[in-house]
Chain A
Amino acid sequence: MQKIKKSKFLCLSIILFLLVGSFSFSSALAAEPRSGGTLSITDFSFSSARTLDPHLAQAAGSMRFIENMYNTLLKYKKAEYGSITGDLAKNYTITNDGKKYTFKLYQGVKFHDGSELTSADVKFSIERIIAKKVRAQQFSGVDKIETPDKYTVVITLKEPVAPFLTYLAYPMNAIVSQKITESNNNDLSSIDAGSGPFKLNLWERDQYLILDKFNDYFIQGKPYLDRVYLKVIDDETARTTALRNQELDLILQVSAKNIDRLAQYPDINVKSVAGTYWEYLGLNTRKGPLADKKVRQAIAWGINRATLNKMVKFDKATVLTSGPIPPGHWAADDLAVYPAQDLAKAKKLLADSDYSNGFETTLIVLSNPDQLNAAQVIKAQLAPLGIKVKIKSLESSVYFDKLGSGDFDMTVIGWVGFVDPDEYLYNIFHTDGIWNQQGYSNPEVDQLLEDGRRTSDQATRKEIYQKAQTIIAQDAPMVFLYVNPQASALQDYVKGFDINPTVTTISLVDTWLDQSAE
């Protein structure tokens, strides 16, 4: 017996992102979309682009370069963070036990070489993702993939995985052409094997990527733009100057300090939504003073998140007072575990621990300016507690090696792009989580996270995740600092672009240039 359960999996309860909604809505009313034109876009992450293979891409820059060349089975719904809608899948059904997914594909979808996209390509792609290891764990629950006909894909899971649809919408879980992939010896690092709205024209490494309109795109009339020019500009000053001089149309992510300044220019819009990029102070619970829960709690009370927000983010970020899921997300924790800095409480907790006279510790950090700055403020804020922090900034390869092997005391870093609460919590706070870098372990939390993964009812999941976050915040393997806004700066005439909390640019398919406003 099968029953359509689509609506249950759509997380429609998100209201706080109305800002995006109203923005794209009003621009849609202003004029009819027109075809034509070139859009130049840049982002600090573009310099990290290393490969065009979606199944190997890890760096944000690679993802931005790739995501418009391909389609996925499902995609994030525009302006509704957390919601999923069909992309290549016209519709889908899920059995009641939550294990069997049946997807019906659109017919007549073409790859950029003109061949048709069929269920065989979908099967091939998911198997390739698993073989390429990078995101294999998202599909570790897959039991088998069947293709009863050219336009039907049936995926059977070993056990229910609540965020499975969210995974399928992840832009890098792209459907690639089996034919093109195989004729290139399985190497997609610099070619295009997709069916997306734009096709690869030219990639000059560390300079730019040019995407051209795909005329046979399966949605009639789209995309509107003839060409998208993704430029690598490393320096933030250079980016903002270029936007002011109209050499650019869009800066994907504007840093906090530039938000107000760019907004002063009459032709430039700065649009900002609550983002998904949250930053934290990680405390290694495996060894030394930080293994002591009281010491960690003392640090959590001793940090002044508001001052950090002011000095590092110019009050543009949203302070996190409990777990990592940002306020506004349906699974955010309503309970403020750390409403404000409380030095007296921090000192008392520290006095009760074995480290009443304070201690010395090392904080490792990447050369990311905001995180380096946060580290300096944290160092100053912990000094009154007698905690002497030494800051060590490391190259990314060394840094992630230390983080992954648990060879550190403290760190400041962040995560970005999560949608489902399971993504926010399971891999990071479960005892066996693959990114449990803090070495945190609490059986109660483990149980909650496992339950959350298997439950499909959103109200129940909400309760589970709120409880888990409260416990995690109290145990303090991390001091949650803030969530960054996702702010883009664009020229007035750029319409239909959705500023997405996950930073994805998949809305370029709907983007157009309003020549009358130019």
Chain B
Amino acid sequence: MWRYITKRILIAIPVLIGISIVAFFLIRLVPGDTVTALLGANYNQEQAAALRADYGLDKPLITQYLIWVKNLLKGDFGHSFFTNQAVSSSIMERLPVTFELMIMSFIYCLLIAIPLGAVASLKKNSLLDYLATIFGLLGVSIPNFWLATILILVFSLHMGWFPSGGFVSFFADPIANLRYMFLPSIALGASVGAVVMRMTRSSMLEILKQDYIEMARAKGVSQKILIISHALKNALIPVITVLGIQMGYLLGGSVIIEQIFSLPGIGRLALQAITNRDYILMQGSILFVAAGFVIINLLVDLIYALINPQIRY
């Protein structure tokens, strides 16, 4: 077990180095640079050259990369060119928003998708099962940004139930915060919910076919207890893997959802940094998103290994 965990963590190290290289050099390929973005409409060439020298952007790329990595290892993500704010504090400011969005979407999955999938599998071919199937198919097919648009159209513009964008911190006003987060988390969570629902349903069906369940049934254990104690427990193993994969999907999807609902999260930070060519902030936020993704995957693998000891690499 420990050998496996150590091995998985060791594999993650070259991957993280690779990510840092991609994050750094991919961005340097972007046409246009920080200085032109900073100067905006007032751009002229002499000013640009002067600023470039001020920021050390005239040094060779390799030198710039090594300086960045050296500082990273010391825990210093650097400072944004635009705002002069520390990148780590920019990220920490926005992390709670993205985190809350992901958690709330996740909760919808757990509250709706797993019970729905389980019930659908028990009542196979019933009306409920068909509805669940349709929900599942639509959920995985509907583009989340369009779902967001429709949700705003119906629940915000016509009904006036929820604001169509913006953000209030949970600690400032919990109720307002939940109102602001409701539509975004539904839009983000729908497809994940659909995947989880389908997975729960199909793995439940698989389990219900197996012999020991048939035997338990024959012995007359009451159906309800049976489902909860045996079937669901076993069926959830693959569901957990899927949930792990989907956490990563939530992270990617949040970029778009944050943009539509004007939520000040990590994804929007990264997009803004890209637009501004704010190199240090871009590198930092891209690295952060990717590293988060790697860590989530690592955790999922480890959890999976723990609950299902047969799987080994």
Contacts and interface: CB of A to CB of B under 8 A. Distances in A.
Direct A–B contact present (CB less than 8 angstroms): yes
A247 B165 CA distance: 12
Contacts of B42: 58, 134, 435
A231 B82 contact: no
A109 B261 CA distance: 43
A16 B39 CA distance: 34
10 contacts: A58-B40, A58-B41, A189-B83, A206-B269, A234-B262, A238-B163, A245-B163, A397-B276, A404-B45, A434-B44
A396 interface: yes
Contact of B39 (A58, A237, A395, A398): A58
A248 to B, nearest CB: 10
B37 A232 contact: no
A242 interface: yes
A399 B40 CA distance: 9
Interface in A280-326: none
Contacts of A238: 163-166, 261-262
Interface string A362-402: 00000000000000000000000000000000111111110
A133 B272 CA distance: 25
A186 to B, nearest CB: 12
Nearest to B31: A398
B191 interface: no
A254 interface: no
A195 B261 CA distance: 36
B164 A401 contact: no
Contact of B41 (A50, A400, A405): A400
A363 B84 CA distance: 34
A49 B75 CA distance: 28
Contacts of B157: 237, 241
Interface string B74-90: 00000000111100001
A122 interface: no
Interface in A185-211: 187, 189-190, 204-207
Contact of B38 (A58, A233, A435): A58
A225 interface: no
Contact of A395 (B44, B167, B275): B275
Contact of A133 (B32, B37, B47, B163): B47
Nearest to A400: B43
B18 to A, nearest CB: 26
Interface in A236-294: 237-238, 241-242, 245, 247
Given A58-B41, A231-B166, A235-B262, A397 B160 contact: no
Contacts of A235: 164-165, 260-262
Range for the number of chain A residues in contact with chain B: 35 or more
B98 to A, nearest CB: 13
Contacts of A134: 42, 47
Contacts of B166: 231, 233, 238, 242
Nearest to B83: A50
A205 B85 contact: yes
Contact of B36 (A231, A237, A247, A401): A401
A12 interface: no
Contacts of A205: 83, 85, 90, 93, 264
Interface in A403-455: 403-405, 413, 415, 434-435
Contacts of B93: 204-205
Interface in B18-54: 31-34, 36-45, 47-48, 50
B103 to A, nearest CB: 20
Interface string A114-137: 000000000000000000011000
Interface of B: 31-34, 36-45, 47-48, 50, 82-85, 90, 93, 152, 156-157, 160, 163-167, 260-262, 264, 268-269, 272, 274-277
A234 B41 CA distance: 20
B151 to A, nearest CB: 12
A415 to B, nearest CB: 8
A4 interface: no
A160 B256 CA distance: 53
A190 B90 CA distance: 13
Given A58-B41, A134-B42, 13 more contacts: A58-B39, A58-B42, A187-B84, A190-B85, A204-B93, A206-B268, A235-B262, A237-B165, A238-B163, A396-B275, A400-B43, A401-B31, A415-B41
A397 B36 contact: yes
A83 interface: no
A336 interface: no
Contacts of B41: 58, 400, 413, 415, 435
Contact of B84 (A190, A233, A398): A190
Nearest to B89: A205
A400 B44 CA distance: 9
Nearest to B37: A397
A337 to B, nearest CB: 26
A397 B33 CA distance: 6
A398 B160 CA distance: 40
A232 B160 CA distance: 20
Contact of B264 (A206, A247, A434): A206
B264 A207 contact: yes
B32 to A, nearest CB: 3
A420 to B, nearest CB: 17
Contacts of A50: 82-83, 276
A241 B272 contact: no
A51 B262 contact: no
A324 to B, nearest CB: 15
A247 B173 CA distance: 14
A18 interface: no
Given A190-B83, A231-B166, A401 B32 contact: yes
A237 B152 contact: yes
Interface string A213-232: 00000000000000000011
B254 to A, nearest CB: 15
A59 interface: yes
Nearest to B50: A133
A205 B97 CA distance: 13
Nearest to A231: B166
Contacts of B48: 404
A231 B168 CA distance: 11
A189 B44 contact: no
B175 to A, nearest CB: 14
A51 B82 CA distance: 7
A434 B45 CA distance: 9
Contacts of A187: 84
B265 to A, nearest CB: 10
Contact of A401 (B43, B165, B272): B43
B44 A404 contact: yes
A403 B264 contact: no
A235 B48 CA distance: 31
A242 B163 CA distance: 7
A400 B165 contact: no
Interface string A48-92: 001100000011000000000000000000000000000000000
Contacts of A206: 264, 268-269, 272
A133 to B, nearest CB: 6
A51 B44 contact: no
